[in-house]
Amino acid sequence: MNEDKRSVLFGTFVLPADESAAAAAHTVNQRAWNLLTRVRDASNGLHAMRAVTLVQALNTLHEAARKDLAITRTGPLG
């Protein structure tokens, strides 16, 4: 059920997004699936999780979404 919800939310984000934000969202979506696949494989240890660069992809998505929405950051991350 959670995967269905994530899929619907993904679609509602990508549909109105510009090309850069949509591309970043697709990268996050693919890396999330990669992570889920690795987590579900009981034979994988922590070393397998380090290879998934989901956080980097999320940061790129957030930056692209802010640009798409014309949101500028005025202060440091905190």
| CA separation for the pair 2, 30 (Å, rounded) | 16
State yes or no: pLDDT of 59 exceeds 60: yes
The answer to pTM > 0.85 is no
The pLDDT assigned to 78 comes to 46
List, in order, residues 6 or more apart from 11 with CB less than 8 Å away: none
- Residue 26 sits at the vertex; the CA angle it makes with 38 and 52, to the nearest 5 degrees, is 30
pLDDT in tens, 2-28: 777 777 777 777 777 788 888 888 888
Collapsed DSSP state (helix, strand, coil) of residue 45? coil
How large is the angle between the packed helices 19-40 and 2-14, nearest 10 degrees?
160
